[in-house]
Amino acid sequence: MSVAPAALAEMQSAVLDWYAGNARDLAFRRTTDPWSVLVSEVIAQQTQAARAADAWTRFIDLFPTPNALAAASPATVIRAWRGLGYNRRAVALREAAIAIVEDHGGRVPDSYDGLIRLPGIGPYTARAVLAIAFNRPVAALDTTIRRVLTRAFTGDDDVPPRTFQALADEYVPAGRGATWTHALMDVGAAFCRARDPRCDACPLASHCKFLAAGRPPVAARGRAGSKPFRATTRWLRGRILDRLRDSPDGRWVTFDGPIGTHDVDAVIEALGDLASEGMLEVDDTGTGARLRTER
């Protein structure tokens, strides 16, 4: 699973040399400001890179510092999040901003422990901020980077997570944490794709352990037992929030009928779930709602 030092140096050079001439020009890559990087990583979760870059530009213009986001109302933040989906991320990001202001003097923590304690910040985002904003030699393992490292570097898709993280950290070139993270992302997007990989053109082709072993890359399988109902519930939640985004602050919107294929009981249940997650308020009837306006 480990890579010999000479081979590792060649693989690092192959990735970095290719990236130097082929890097995607994404707006959020033009900064190493820790807050800007943190926001970009939260936005980029489950969002295509180009679309995430556009959304990040708009969002960071509105909330250029943790203090700016912490001072905004939940309603303002949810409106700014429109079109990005997974609206809980917006609420959690605002809560993280509040924690940064109250517990860290308005500065994004520069340690893994400090970052992982922020609301909504998981291991990947914490490591991505450390690598990109602080240039630390840590591997940020999202699906794309994990796929590249598994196929080309370890050649083993059954490595225990903790062991894999330690190996991935060893692969980071000294002093190049930020560039390495972006480069692996782009190699994964351009060549080492889950489906229809372009192995013949990949800069790692001559070093790839999967290819050397005659193992064609296989697309990752979906989670067993996943249910389409969760996606349709997400659709309903999105439609509810869109109606509220279109309503002025403080005005109640009545939900007393079906939305799409969801009957009124499903709508009311979704309102309760959204209220429990801090995204909106529900009136005493259970059918009136508005985005949270208090700070």
The alpha carbon of residue 245 and the mean position of all alpha carbons in its chain are separated, in whole angstroms, by 23
Residue 52 and residue 89: Cα distance in Å, rounded?
14
Taking the C-alpha atoms of residue 152 and residue 146, their distance in angstroms, rounded to an integer, is: 10
Q: 41, 102, 277, 281: which is the annotated catalytic residue? A: 41
Q: Catalytic annotation on 95?
A: no
List all residues 6 or more positions away from 295 whose beta carbon is below 8 Å from its beta carbon.
Answer: 71, 72, 73
Among 121, 123, 118, 117, CA closest to 141: 123
User: SS3 of 117, please?
Assistant: coil
Strand partners, 262: 259
User: Which of 113, 128, 67 has its CA nearest to residue 94?
Assistant: 67
Amino acid at the residue 46: Q
Distance, CA of 274 to CA of 289 (rounded, Å): 10
DSSP string of 20-83, one letter each residue: HHH----GGGG---HHHHHHHHHHHTTS-HHHHHHHHHHHHHH--SHHHHHHS-HHHHHHHTTT
* CA atoms of 159 and 165, how far apart (whole Å): 9
Q: How many Å apart are CA 153 and CA 141, to the nearest integer?
A: 14
Active site residues: 41
